[in-house]
Chain A
Amino acid sequence: MMAQHGDLAVRVRGLRKEYGGVAAVDGIDLDVARGETFVLLGPNGAGKSTTVEILEGYRSRSAGEVDVLGVDPAHARLEWKARLGIVLQSSGEAGVYTVREQLAHFASFYPRSRDVDEVIAAVGLEEKATTRIAKLSGGQQRRVDVALAIIGRPELLFLDEPTTGFDPEARRDFWALIEGLKAEGTTILLTTHYLEEAARLADRGGVINHGRLIAVGHINELGGAEARVPIVRWKDDDGARHERRTARPAEVVTQLVQQLGGEPAELEVIRPSLEDVYLNLVGASNASAAPEAEEEFA
C-alpha cells in the first residue's frame, strides 16, 4: 500500500460515517499529495469536520478506507501522531501558562521538535512570549494554537477553520505564516469558510455538501471551465441590462463599442471568483438534493 500510494499524504475511499442511521459523511473519495495544500469547503454541517476528525484519528468511521501518512488512523500509534499537527476548531484552554512555557512543554512530546523561540517568532508572538495565554487576544491565542500544531515539525498539518474571528490584518499575517510552512514542504489540509483564504492558500480543493464531495480539483479550476467563463455586462441606451458569458470578453467589448458607436454604459467584465463558483456549486447541489432537514454534526 505504501509503495503504491507513497506520494499521497492522504488517501480516502468510500468514507462513510453514520450517526444513528443518518449519514454525516456519505461516500467520500479524496487524495492529498505530499507537499500539497488542500482545502475542504462546504456549508456548516456538510460533513467537513467529521471527515477531518476521522483523518486525525479522533473519530471512528462506519465504512471506507482511510490512509493518512501510510497509516489507518483507526489503528494509529503515538509515532504516527508525532508526524501530525492539528489546529482544532476551538481553543482557549491552558490559560495559566505563558506562551513559552506552553510551547516548551508541547515541544517535549515530539522527537524532532522545532526551536521554541523560532516558532514564537514565526507566529509573531515574540513580545508575548512571557505572557499568560489567558491574557492574549483571540487572534493571538489562535496563533498559539498554530504554534502548538507546528512545534513538532509535522509532515501533515490540519487547519480546521483557523482564521475564524481574525481581523483582516491578522488574517494576512496568518496566511504569510502558512505560506512559509508550505514552502518548507508541509502538507496542509485546510477547512475554511473564507473563500479568499482558500484561493490564496490552497493548491487544490474540494466542496462537500450533504456528506458528499460534489466537486474536486485545482483551486483555479474548481467547478470546471464552464463555471469560470467571464461575464460581460452593460446597459443599452434604454437602460436595459445585458449580460453575455464569453471566453473572449475583449472581443465582445470591441464589438459592442462598434455597434453602439461609443462607450457602453456601466460596462463590467466579471471573472467569477472562487466564492461565485462555490455558491453556484452548493446551490445546484442543494436544488438537486431532497429537501431534508440538515443536522449540525460539527
Chain B
Amino acid sequence: MSTMTLGLARARYETKGYFRSPDTVFFTFLFPIVMLGIFTAAFSSLGDIRPGPTSADHVSVGAYYLPGMLAAGVLLSGVQNLAVDIAGEKSDGTLKRLGGTPLSPVSYFVGKLCRVFATGILQAALLLGVARFVFGVALPTEWSAWGTFAWVFVLGTVASALLGIALSALPRSSRSATAVVVPIVLVLQFISGVYLQFSVLPAWMQNLASAFPLKWLAQGMRAAFLPDGFKALEQHGGWELGWVALWLVAWLIVGLVVSRLTFRWIRRDA
C-alpha cells in the first residue's frame, strides 16, 4: 500500500481507538461542550453581553462563550490529546513495535493528523449543535463568517496537531505526560480568553497570551461568530485576521520543525 493509503488506514484505526478510550472522550472530546454548558448556566442570569453600554450589538452568554470553546476544542484535540497520546505510545512500546514494521513515519503522522481533524470536526459540529439547539444560540448566516471559521479551524488544527507532536517529546512517561501537558493547556485557556472574557484581562496578561497560538485562535473564532460591534472589545479594537493567520502559521512552522527534529520511534541508545 502507498504511504497515503496507509495513512488513511491509520486514520480509521486511530479514530476507532480514540472513541474507545473513555478518558480521551471525556477530557478531550466532551470537555469544551461540558464547559460551555457550565459557563452558560453559571452566567446566564447576568443577561446578554454587549461590547459597550451604548452598543446595539448584544449576544447571550452561551453565544459569547461559543467561539472560545471552539478554540479550546481545537487546542485540546491537537495539543493535549496528541502530546499525551504519543508520549503514551512511546512509553508503552507501541512506537517501538511500529518502528519494527515497514510503516512509514509519514503514514503514522498522516493518521494522527486525520484523526485530529476527524475528532475536531465532530467536536465542533457537536458544540455548534448544542449551542444552537440546547442554548438557543443564533449561528451566523453569512457565508463569509463560515469561511472565516473554516480557515481558522483548519489552520488552528494543523498547528495544534504539530505542536502536540512536538510537545510529546518532552515527557518521559505517559504518566508524566498528563502532568506536563495539561497545565500548559489549562493556563493557556485561562489567559487566552476561553474561560475568562479576554477584554477584562490586564494588559500584561493579554500581551503574554498574544505570544501563544490559543489567543489568536480564539480571536479568529470570535471574528467568525460574534457580531461585528464586538471587535471594539479586542485588544487593538479590531479582529486583526491577518495577525491571526500569521501567528497560527508561525506556530505551525515551529511545531513542524520541532516535530521533525525530535520525533523517534524509540529513544535511541536510551
Contacts and interface: CB of A to CB of B under 8 A. Distances in A.
A90 B101 CA distance: 16
A19 B97 contact: no
B89 A60 contact: no
A108 B1 contact: yes
Interface residues of B, number: 23
Interface string A180-213: 0000000000000000000000000000000000
B190 to A, nearest CB: 32
B130 interface: no
B92 interface: yes
B131 to A, nearest CB: 30
Interface residues of A, number: 29
A106 B101 contact: yes
A290 to B, nearest CB: 25
Given A96-B17, A97-B17, A105-B9, A78 B102 contact: yes
Interface in A101-159: 101, 105-106, 108-111, 148, 152
Contacts of B266: 58
B260 interface: no
A109 B6 contact: yes
Interface string A72-113: 000000110110101010111110110001000110111100
Contacts of B101: 81-82, 106, 109-110, 152
A96 B103 CA distance: 20
Given A78-B104, A81-B101, A152-B101, A97 B16 contact: yes
A81 B101 CA distance: 6
A81 B97 CA distance: 11
A91 B97 contact: yes
A59 interface: yes
Contacts of A109: 1, 6, 101-103
Nearest to A77: B102
Contact of B100 (A19, A59, A84, A101): A84
Interface string A54-73: 00111110000000000000
Contacts, number: 67
Nearest to A19: B269
Interface string B237-270: 0000000000000000000000000000010110
B6 A91 contact: no
A51 to B, nearest CB: 14
Interface in A25-78: 56-60, 78
Given A19-B269, A97-B17, A58 B96 contact: yes
B199 interface: no
A101 B96 CA distance: 19
Nearest to A78: B102
Interface core residue of B9, B96, B266 (most chain A CB under 10 Å): B96
B44 interface: no
Contact of B97 (A57, A60, A93): A93
Nearest to B107: A109
A81 B100 contact: yes
B109 to A, nearest CB: 15
Nearest to A53: B266
Interface in B1-32: 1, 6, 9, 13, 16-17, 20-21
B74 to A, nearest CB: 24
Contacts of A111: 102
A148 B96 CA distance: 13
Given A79-B102, A93-B97, A108-B1, A59 B21 contact: no
A267 B268 CA distance: 56
B99 interface: yes
B21 A96 contact: yes
Contact of A93 (B13, B16, B94, B269): B94
B140 interface: no
A187 to B, nearest CB: 16
Nearest to A106: B101
Contacts of A152: 101-102
Contacts of A88: 93, 96-97, 100
Given A81-B100, A96-B17, A108 B269 contact: no
A148 B97 contact: yes
Contacts of A79: 102
7 contacts: A78-B104, A86-B100, A88-B96, A88-B100, A93-B94, A96-B20, A97-B16
Interface of B: 1, 6, 9, 13, 16-17, 20-21, 89, 92-94, 96-97, 99-104, 266, 268-269
Interface of A: 19, 56-60, 78-79, 81-82, 84, 86, 88, 90-94, 96-97, 101, 105-106, 108-111, 148, 152
